[in-house]
Amino acid sequence: MRVCNLASGSSGNCTYIESENAKILIDNGKSLQYVCTALTELGVDPCQIDAILITHEHSDHIKGIEKFSRVYNTPIYAHVNINEILKNQIHTDESLFNFFDNQFEIKDLVITPFALPHDSKFCVGYRVSEQDAVISVCTDLGHFSENTFEIIKSSALVYLEANYDPEMLMAYPNYPPFLKRRINGPNGHLSNINCAKAIEKLVHAGTRMVVLSHISEHSNTTNLAVGTIANYLESKNIIPNVNIRLDIAHHEQRGTIFRINPTKK
């Protein structure tokens, strides 16, 4: 598989995943021009995208889908629990919508959705595998549950949310108290320290690469996220760049291209 985050955070999310036969996007919260430019830089013609998978209905995850699917006739996949909301928000050919409530396949990719605790109508993460090569996308979650861990623990690479620093969140003057409580709550977003604890579990289960994702523009910084997480891991004898590679998903810039290949049996 070839995997690359195209954008991450409240101004828009989009991740590209490619197997031998399939090319998909997870979420599309960016403009048509932004996504097409990023795909072209990867050598991918946007008309080759087989599917856009939606995590949940918040605008930072879906606002680019209507235009993209209209221009390229791209099939859209989402959980059945948000079918009505999406049909109201994304005005495109209805035959492009595919609603799942369980595992499904797109060509040679096996997609396992899993429910995430988040303050939307319904939110999922995705475990994506091509044979024994496995990656997971796990953003927009208030806490990292045992169920989530069980599903994604075999992933070589995980895109995991490191949304906020609690002190910066509380000090940020432009959020009302109710919004801070929501972000900070069990169905909001994942803090740096809770991300670190999740990474600790994943490393013990064999994960070797984590991309810190959905980093808040107001209540976090890249340095703070990496510093907090690296300090915590080191205190548990997990050494960044030795036991785990930590990478960053940027707000408005293509991230690292990862290659995770199946061990052809």
Q: Which residues bind Zn ion (CB under 5 A)?
A: 58, 60, 140
How near is the Cβ of 243 to Zn ion at its closest, in Å? 29
Residue 101, classed as helix, strand or coil, is coil
Quick one: 236 or 251, whose CB is closer to Zn ion? 251
How near is the Cβ of 156 to Zn ion at its closest, in Å? 24
How near is the Cβ of 18 to Zn ion at its closest, in Å? 23
Of the CA atoms within 13 Å of residue 228, those in its CB half-sphere come to 22
Quick one: 130 or 140, whose CB is closer to Zn ion? 140
Q: Report yes or no: 60 and 11 within 8 Å, Cβ to Cβ.
A: yes
Quick one: 140 or 165, whose CB is closer to Zn ion? 140
Question: Beta strands 76-79 and 2-7: pairing type?
Answer: unpaired
Question: What φ, ψ does residue 34 adopt, rounded to 5°?
Answer: -60, -50
Quick one: 18 or 140, whose CB is closer to Zn ion? 140
- Going by C-alpha positions, the residue among 120, 58, 133 that lies closest to residue 89 is 58
Distance CA 129, CA 21 (A): 12
Please report, as a single letter, which amino acid is at residue 72: Y
How near is the Cβ of 202 to Zn ion at its closest, in Å? 21
For the record, the structure tokens of 68 come out as 């993209």
Quick one: 22 or 26, whose CB is closer to Zn ion? 26
How near is the Cβ of 150 to Zn ion at its closest, in Å? 23
Question: What φ, ψ does residue 119 adopt, rounded to 5°?
Answer: -85, 55
How near is the Cβ of 57 to Zn ion at its closest, in Å? 8
Q: Is 187 exposed, middle or buried (0-12, 13-18, 19+ CB in 10 A)?
A: middle
Quick one: 2 or 121, whose CB is closer to Zn ion? 121
